[in-house]
Structure 1
Amino acid sequence: MPHEEPDPMPEDLLNWLEDEDSLTDVVDEQQLEDEAANAYLDAEDEYVPIDDGKGYLAVSGTEAGSILSALPPGSTVTETASAPTVVSRDSSLTGDRPIYLVHRGGRNAELLPWVMGELHHKKGRSIAIGAVANLPAAKGEKLGGFLRQASVAALRIADPQCYRLDEKVLRLSPSPIGKRAWGYAPYLSTTEDTDWVLQVLDAQRAIGANLLLTPGRALDPDTPQASLDSAFQEADEALALTERGERLALNLTLPSRWLSSEALRNRLLDQILDQDQFDVLYIRIQWAQAKAFAPTEDGDLLMGIKRLSNLCADEGRPLLLPQTGITGWFALAHGAAGYGLGFSGSEQSFAEYAFRRARKGQQQAQRYFEKQMLHTVDSSAHDVVRSSQGYVDCTCTYCPQLFRNPTWSHALAALHHLYCMGELTARVHEDSARGGRHGAVRRIVANARRWSSELPLGTNDVPRHLASWDQAL
């Protein structure tokens, strides 16, 4: 794919493939200081019992999100309402609860187990949680610590992100593999080794992943069959290298043409159908995006996601859509088993890189996710939305501090977003008695479109995707 320079993107700080230790190279350290969010880490330790009577969930404090076999000395149970037992990896993949993947990014990663634990406590009977750590983003000890603390996660995934090698196929940043990433993920520099696939698997094993991924190189739409053959050859090799008790997911990275073009889509789906030795799929999709945190409005792409989800559901093969944000949530209606998102714009969608002209003194946009309209708006629009008839205030634990604070906390706004998406995911399960997940999503989308249609919003805050979604449902 030629890499001509696109028009400047009018959004800031999308964190395109940032490595954790390189954040200070591109962001002022003062911007990372967030006292309001860090106050959560300093909160007193609180614990609730697990349903099976075999442990306790830490719901606050330094161990938040962890399952402990026994209470620490001097600790007491702070709530009588128990937390559900964490389902096993295999049960989460074969069960009827949607899977909610939380991606660990470079910023505020220490807060993620907190929101995952809270979601498990309050919504764990309606969703299964997964944790995704990106191997090239940080040192193995940090990533392993994240997966261990997030013990409410039924799925623990270490994403090798081998697609970073495919800048001729994908539209990636000018330096998709930073200098530290070469050290964090040495397999990125050894692709010619005969044991390369084993190196990719061993890197995942080393930090405690319980669902392994094939390398996941990008499929080139210009050489479709050769690209498919190469990806499946690597996947077959990975499958042969799995050990007793391990589970492997077929990992593919797709430019959007693979799903929006009928000919390419049919070729892809036929190949997936024929290769039934892979019973779990982990598929990342790259599409063009005009605005950070905005879902795709591309009708052809939505149709492709629908067809892919339909096929996997019909075949009884769980489809996980990492890094898709609310577009992945929409795919639950069509048969996807789960989807993922994280703090930053780049973890809400695997969008094509777009050149952004630096603006001196430009500050990070203040965004707030409006669950009722399935859309992220500028914080200045929140007061307009909130004053509208029928608005329901968010009841998450993060909003009171977010709006009480004189300075906008991007971390608290992100935690609110992650929690609300977890609630929406749980609602799909809870309201599935009438028409299954498709019926639940259809009703949520229809209500959001009807309620938001009369809101006096600026151009950038209008949820234009709802019309496409409503039509697709």
Structure 2
Amino acid sequence: MAHEEPEPMPEDDLDWLGDEDSLTQAVDEEQLQDEAANAWLAAEEAYVPLDDGNGYLAVGGTDAGSIVSALPAGSSPVGKTTAPVVISRDDALRGDRPVYLVHRGARHANLLPIVMGDLHHKKGRSLTVGAVVSLPSAKASKNASFFDQASVAAMRIADPQCYRLDDKILRLPRNPIGKRALEYAPYLSCAEESDWLRQVMDAQRAVGANLLLTPGRALNPDDPQNSLDTAFQEADQFLALTERGERVALNLTIPSRWLAVGALRNRLLDEILDQDQFDVLYVRIQWAQTKAFAPTEDADLLMGIRRLANLCQDEGRSLLLPQTGITGWFALAHGATGYGLGVSGSEQCFAEYAFRRGRPGQQQAQRYFEKQMLHTIDSSSHDVVQLVPGYLGCDCLYCPSLFDAQPWSHPLAALHHIFSMGALTARVQEDSARGGRHAAVRRIVAAAKRWSSGLPPLGSGDVPRHLAVWDQAL
């Protein structure tokens, strides 16, 4: 597949396969300027006891998001609430509660454990928090440190991102495996070596992953059967290398055609049905996207996601949908166990790379997630929407500081987004007594569609067009 010369996608804030060090200077400058976000890191240490009395959850200070066995000297629990005990990986995969995977990206990674701990404290009885790191995007020590601090994560996934080897199948930027990626993930340079699968596995073990992923090379829709055969043979070999107590997810990376086109979809689902040695699937889907943070409106793709989720639910398998954002949330209605998102656009959707010429000096968009619309809009549109009768303001910890901050705080907007999507995920579980998760999602989508239909004119990218398609699909 031919590509034009890639440039960063303006305004969309897509960290295209970027590594952490490539953004270090920009991120450091951003943090120095963002006193509102830094205040969360400088907050006084605070702890709440766990339900079983065996440990404490840090809910304030630099350790926020971590579980400690005993209080530091001179500390005492705050408030009268307790936090749920972190369940095991295997209990999480049973899917009694939806799994909410938070992707560690290059931006604001040090703030993510704070919001993960906040979610576990307030919503952890209705959802399970998990964490995903990208092996080619950061040093192993930083990924391991992230897992250590975000110890509320019942599931820890170190994604090998071997799909970077498949730029003839996927739409990726030119040179998707850069110098830093090879340094952080040297297995990307030796896929032909006899011990390659062990290298991929050991890299995940080294940072503390408790759910191992098969390599996840991209499936080629133009050579479907050979591609499927190769992927599943490789997955079987990977499975054979596991040790006692380890658990493996079948990692698949697919262009959207595999789910949107009936013949391809049927072949894929039939093959998955035959692979009963894998009871956990981790499926990354690449689809076209015109604007960052915008969910898909493709009815055929949504039908494919629904069929995949239905199959996994019927067969008692756990389906995890990384990098899907609110589209992954929608899939909870059809049987998905969990989904993932992160701060940047590339962690909300594994979008097809598109060449877009940037404009010098262009500012990062000021986005705000409106849970009442199930949509991310520009801050100027938020100023309009909040004046509409019936508007429900956000009650998260981050919004008061966000709207007091000048200039706009991108980190606080990100924390609001991560928390709000987690709260929406918990709400699906909390409302599932009436007809299950499908009915809960249907009611939330229908309410969002009704309320959004009465809004004043907004910018074209701020109109939640996906709601009509979703409402029909439900």
Q: TM-score of the superposition, structure 1-length normalised?
A: 0.98
CA distance in 1, matches of 2:437, 2:28: 43
Letter of the structure 2 residue corresponding to residue 173 of structure 1: P
Any idea what the Cα deviations from partners look like across 1:259-297, whole Å, max 9, x if unmatched? 001000000000000010001000000000000000000
Letter of the structure 2 residue corresponding to residue 149 of structure 1: Q
Any idea what the Cα deviations from partners look like across 1:233-255, whole Å, max 9, x if unmatched? 11001110010000000000000
Q: What is the aligned-residue identity percentage? A: 74
Determine the structure 1 residue equivalent to 2:230: 230
Unaligned runs of 5+ in 1: none
Deviation at 1:173, TM superposition (A): 1.1
CA distance in 1, matches of 2:275, 2:180: 36
Letter of the structure 2 residue corresponding to residue 466 of structure 1: L
Contact kept, 8 Å, 1:133 with 1:158, in 2: the verdict is yes
CA distance in 1, matches of 2:236, 2:228: 12
Contact kept, 8 Å, 1:57 with 1:66, in 2: the verdict is yes
Contact kept, 8 Å, 1:49 with 1:80, in 2: the verdict is no
Any idea what the Cα deviations from partners look like across 1:161-205, whole Å, max 9, x if unmatched? 000111100001112112111000000001011010010000000
Deviation at 1:2, TM superposition (A): 3.5
CA distance in 2, matches of 1:78, 1:257: 52
Letter of the structure 1 residue corresponding to residue 471 of structure 2: D
Contact kept, 8 Å, 1:8 with 1:354, in 2: the verdict is no
Is the partner of 1:236 in helix, strand or coil?
helix
Determine the structure 1 residue equivalent to 2:470: 469
Deviation at 1:458, TM superposition (A): 2.2
Is the partner of 2:346 in helix, strand or coil?
helix
Is the partner of 1:373 in helix, strand or coil?
coil
Determine the structure 2 residue equivalent to 1:156: 156
Deviation at 1:355, TM superposition (A): 1.0
User: Is 1:19 aligned to 2:9, yes or no?
Assistant: no
Determine the structure 2 residue equivalent to 1:373: 373
Determine the structure 2 residue equivalent to 1:384: 384
Determine the structure 2 residue equivalent to 1:431: 431
Letter of the structure 2 residue corresponding to residue 293 of structure 1: F
Is the partner of 2:57 in helix, strand or coil?
strand
Deviation at 1:109, TM superposition (A): 0.3
CA distance in 2, matches of 1:28, 1:50: 34
User: Is 1:358 aligned to 2:327, yes or no?
Assistant: no
Unaligned runs of 5+ in 2: none
Determine the structure 1 residue equivalent to 2:337: 337
Determine the structure 2 residue equivalent to 1:30: 29
Deviation at 1:4, TM superposition (A): 5.3
Contact kept, 8 Å, 2:46 with 2:58, in 1: the verdict is yes
Determine the structure 2 residue equivalent to 1:411: 411
Is the partner of 2:302 in helix, strand or coil?
helix
Instruction: Give the aligned CA root-mean-square deviation in angstroms.
Output: 1.4
Change (3 A) 1:179 1:6: closer
CA distance in 1, matches of 2:59, 2:463: 36
Change (3 A) 1:122 1:8: closer
Letter of the structure 1 residue corresponding to residue 146 of structure 2: F
Letter of the structure 1 residue corresponding to residue 318 of structure 2: P
Determine the structure 1 residue equivalent to 2:125: 125
Letter of the structure 2 residue corresponding to residue 382 of structure 1: H
Determine the structure 2 residue equivalent to 1:208: 208
Change (3 A) 1:214 1:8: closer
Deviation at 1:35, TM superposition (A): 2.0
Determine the structure 2 residue equivalent to 1:46: 46
Any idea what the Cα deviations from partners look like across 1:2-53, whole Å, max 9, x if unmatched? 435799966332111110001158x586345422111100000000000011
Is the partner of 2:156 in helix, strand or coil?
strand
Change (3 A) 1:336 1:367: same
CA distance in 1, matches of 2:204, 2:17: 19
Contact kept, 8 Å, 1:162 with 1:217, in 2: the verdict is yes
Change (3 A) 1:18 1:9: closer
CA distance in 1, matches of 2:198, 2:98: 31
CA distance in 1, matches of 2:114, 2:28: 23
Is the partner of 1:471 in helix, strand or coil?
helix
CA distance in 1, matches of 2:207, 2:8: 38
Contact kept, 8 Å, 1:47 with 1:76, in 2: the verdict is yes
Deviation at 1:308, TM superposition (A): 0.2
Contact kept, 8 Å, 1:9 with 1:290, in 2: the verdict is no
Determine the structure 2 residue equivalent to 1:459: 460
Is the partner of 2:372 in helix, strand or coil?
helix
Is the partner of 1:226 in helix, strand or coil?
helix
Letter of the structure 2 residue corresponding to residue 431 of structure 1: D
CA distance in 2, matches of 1:63, 1:328: 29
CA distance in 1, matches of 2:92, 2:366: 35
**394-403 or 176-185, which deviates more:** 176-185
Q: TM-score of the superposition, structure 2-length normalised?
A: 0.98
Change (3 A) 1:387 1:30: same
Any idea what the Cα deviations from partners look like across 1:299-352, whole Å, max 9, x if unmatched? 000000000000000000000000000000000000000000000000000001
